Amino acid sequence: MDIAIIVYAKDKEDAFSEAERVLQILTEGEGPFLAYYTMHQDDHPALLAASEEGRTLIQERMASTRRDLFHNLDQIRYGLLHLSNEEIWANIDKRNTGIPGLKMRGDAGNEFVWDTALSSSFLRYLFQCAGAYVGSDVYIYDYEGDGIRDEEHLRDALDKWKSSPGERPPSAQRRLGDQVWIVPAETDN
């Protein structure tokens, strides 16, 4: 899975080092990813976030996160229309409803196939995906390893947490000469 990490660094080398630190957070212990790959400068260049290429990468990763959230929400809406609270609680699968593989078009305009008929366990999985802060439905991360899921968090990450100094996370402390970088990476989940 292609992701990107926003970091503060003095130069490209420092940006890769900071991204490596974040990727270790995302892959160790109970992290959402099993491994990360190809942190080579040739394959995955660190980009200044303010550059045209950097802004494009950020927009692409945010669009992917938004797309996946909307896709999950569309499927959740459909499942909630057809499964009662009791059926979800009892983990009932309505596999013989006559509608397996039903094609649906969600509010976001994307088409999906409810290929597990009406599976309450799959619906619960979709709830988890829609609420996830990290993992396969989040494509951009900040310097703490937190998934960026909305425009406000993105602004905070890009603006180096312009809140009062006491509210900044420790790794967001501004160092003299730091710039904001976006570093792409590949992960396995």
**What are the helix (H) ranges across 48-150?**
52-82, 85-89, 120-131
- Strand pairing report for 179-188 and 93-94: unpaired
Residues 6+ apart with CB under 8 A from 126: 72, 75, 76, 79
Mean pLDDT for the chain overall: 80
pLDDT above 50 for 28: yes
How far is it, in rounded angstroms, from Cα 82 to Cα 152?
34
CA 136, 141, 143 angle in degrees (round to 5)? Answer: 145
> How far apart, in whole angstroms, are the C-alpha atoms of residue 109 and residue 171?
39
Phi–psi pair at 37, nearest 5 degrees: -140, 165
Residue extents of the structural domains in the chain: 2-62+136-188, 67-131
Alpha-carbon distance of 141 to 107, in angstroms, equals 26
Residue in the block written with tokens 């699968």:
93
Q: How confident is the model at residue 155 (pLDDT cuts 50, 70, 90)?
A: very high
Q: Tell me how far apart the alpha carbons of residues 110 and 67 are, in angstroms, rounded to a whole number.
A: 9
Chain center to CA of 12: 23
What is the predicted pLDDT for the residue at 164?
Answer: 44
Confidence at residue 100, expressed as pLDDT on a 0 to 100 scale: 44
Mean pLDDT, to the nearest integer, of 117-135? 82
**Both structure tokens of 18:** 């900071």
Could you report the per-residue pLDDT of 61-115, keeping only the tens digit for each? Answer: 999 999 999 988 988 888 888 888 988 888 877 654 444 444 545 555 555 554 4
More reliable by pLDDT, 94 or 40: 94
What average pLDDT does this structure show over 21-34? 87
Share of the chain above pLDDT 70, in %: 74
